[in-house]
Every structure is written in C-alpha cells, then in structure tokens.
Amino acid sequence: MKRTSRLAVTAAVGLAVAVAATGCRDSRTTSASAGGAAPQVKIMIGGIDKVIYLPPKLTEQLGYFKQEGLDVQLLTEPSGAQAENVLISGDVQGVVGFYDHTIDLQTKGKCIQSVVQFADVPGEVEVVSTAQADKIKSAKDFKGKRLGITSPGSSTDFLTQALAVKSGVATEEFTRVKAGAGPTFIAAMDNGGIDAGMTTDPTAAKLTTSGKGKIILDMRTEEGTRAALGGLYPASSLYMDCAWVQNNKQTVQKLANALVKTLRYINQHSAEEIAAKMPADYAGGDPKLYAKSINDTKSIFRPDGVMDEEGAKNVLEVLSSFSPNVKGKKDTIDLSKTYTTEFVKAVPAS
C-alpha cells in the first residue's frame, strides 16, 4: 500500500475509534489518557507529510509533547478544508492548517483561532507542467486553464483565486481541479488533467527535479509572497475552537511550549538534521530529495510562533478580494478573535 494511502487509512481508523470511544463526545474539554495521567489531544493535519505542516510530527519525533506531559494523537486529512470540518464537528481538538480558515469560518458564525502561528508565508508554489510552460508564465495566463488545487475550499483554492483576481482574471474564467497532493497531483499533471497547480514540498521538489514541472510563482519566501499577495500571508498554524481554548488553557500552554520549542529547533538545525529526525518513509525512498524539500521550505517557519499583526490584516484583505463568504464583510470581521498570542508569548525562553 502506498504511504499516502496508509496515512489516510490510519487517520480514518484512528478517528473512527476515537469517535466510537467517546460516543461523539463534545470535545470542549480535555480527555484523560489511559490511567488518567496525560491530557489527550487529537490534532488533524491537512496533509501530515507536507513540509509546511512539519512542526507537529517533528515535535512528536523529538519527544516534546511527552516532555510537556501530553498525549497527542496526530491524524491526517488530504486538505485543510476537510480537516476543519472534523474540528467543527468536535471530533478533534485542533487542526494544523492555514490561518485563513479562521477568517472564513467567522463569516459562518464559528469562532476558531490560531494559537501557534508556524509561518508568515504560505510555503506554496504555482507549478506549471513543462508542456504548458510557454503558455503559462504568470497568473495573468490562468484564463481558460485547468488549475490544480488540493480540494474546493482549501487554502490552495483560496490562493489560486486570489492570484487570478489580482492579475485581472475572473474566477469563472478558469477551472479549478481537485488534484490533492503528492502522487495524485503529479499524476494529474502527467496525464494532462491540470495545466498548472498550487502545491508544496515535497511535491514541488519531485516535479521540478524530474523535469515535469516549472515553478512560476514562489511563496516560500517573504519576497515572493509580498510580490504575489501584496504583503505577508500568515499560513500554517495550529488553530482550535475558541471555547475549547478558554476551557483548557493549561493544555493549550503545554502545546504551545512543545511546538515553539520545535520551531526553535527548525531554525537552529540543518535540513539534513531535521530530515533525519522524521519517519524514514516520509523521504519516499529518496532521502536527499526529502532533505532538499525541507531546505527549500524551512525558512518559512517563525522561531517564536507569534502572529504578525499586519500579516493577519493582509490575509483578510486578500480573502475579501474574491471570496463570496468574506467579500463585502471585511468591516464586520473581528481579527482579534481569529488568533491569540497569549500562549506563545508565555513559552519559557529555553
């Protein structure tokens, strides 16, 4: 069985067991693990093997969750849009996904907030197939094309629409295709199902090193993000239900302690050292390529987990440029409810 399939099955089985064991319990309070020792927290990740979401798995591998006395279960869904649904249903206590979902969900009456902000930039790239490289050189060329996204309502969907609109291409002038990530994304590009698409490492590294794809927009750097989106775009984060955060502050603080310690580790170690700490199967049989994909992306991670205030404002600005949910509602959004720095600022200095 392919690793991506195994991860999905593991997540599905783990989630089913969790739901059965709790009888669809309301997740606003922390459950105790076996023996009543460590608080148990289930976190859904929008693609556990994506480098942009590396911090939680690395935290587990480094033993930092256990050092904080936490029993953390990491589950995975292919995209952030699917992961947020599991959070809203109360089956998990947190999601590792893009911050922009907290704003989108507020327009639907949900209070969700980022408690640890991993990155100020998306870490995403727009890759065009080599067969289309002479026809698609920027977002201005999206008209009439089939563009790959993780899934409808995902952050890759949001970013694709935002880039198009900013370049004068209406969202109805191109087709957004659910292509997933990893093998499914690569296959869609191979068979002509998509002309270009939004993805992350290690998928991007595999496409470019194989010669199958070419990067035309790179949002793995601050410079590239500002050029593409007009400012910073805080992205990967741990976000949680506001009520759960208020009712479980001690547990949230422990999560912040562990994750910020990992962010510091990422900033202080090489890509090769980080790759060596990750599960061997994450390398997909090519350790050097995996280390390269981490190296190409690792600069996105903040060392402190603090949200950039101006960046949060820019996310709202970008979403309001195209999103039916956010457009026209910008002035009604309370950004202070979409993130908190309370916990990351209380993390010990060492």
Give the HSE-up count for residue 259: Cα atoms under 13 Å, Cβ half-sphere. 33
Fold entry, domain 3-24+36-121+234-346:
D-Maltodextrin-Binding Protein; domain 2 (3.40.190)
**pTM for this model (two decimals):** 0.88
Residue 213 Cα to chain centre, angstroms: 22
The Cα 239–Cα 49 span in angstroms is: 18
CATH superfamily of 124-219: Periplasmic binding protein-like II (3.40.190.10)
SS3 294: helix
Residue 6 has what pLDDT? 39
Residue 30 has what pLDDT? 58
- Answer yes or no: are the C-beta atoms of 154 and 147 closer than 8 Å: no
Q: Which residues of 288-305 are buried (b: 16+ CB within 10 A; e: fewer)?
A: ebbbbbbbbbbebbbeeb
Residue 9 has what pLDDT? 38
Residue 85 has what pLDDT? 87
SS3 340: coil
Residue 21 has what pLDDT? 37
Residue 37 has what pLDDT? 59
- Residues counted in the chain: 350
The Cα 56–Cα 233 span in angstroms is: 20
Residue 78 has what pLDDT? 76
| Stretches in the chain below the pLDDT threshold 70 | 1-37, 80
- Answer yes or no: are the C-beta atoms of 339 and 312 closer than 8 Å: yes
Closest CA to 43 of 18, 6, 69, 68: 18
Residue 211 has what pLDDT? 96
The Cα 71–Cα 89 span in angstroms is: 21
Residue 234 has what pLDDT? 98
Residue 34 has what pLDDT? 44
Domain limits, CATH 3.40.190.10, in the chain: 3-24+36-121+234-346, 124-219
The Cα 254–Cα 110 span in angstroms is: 24
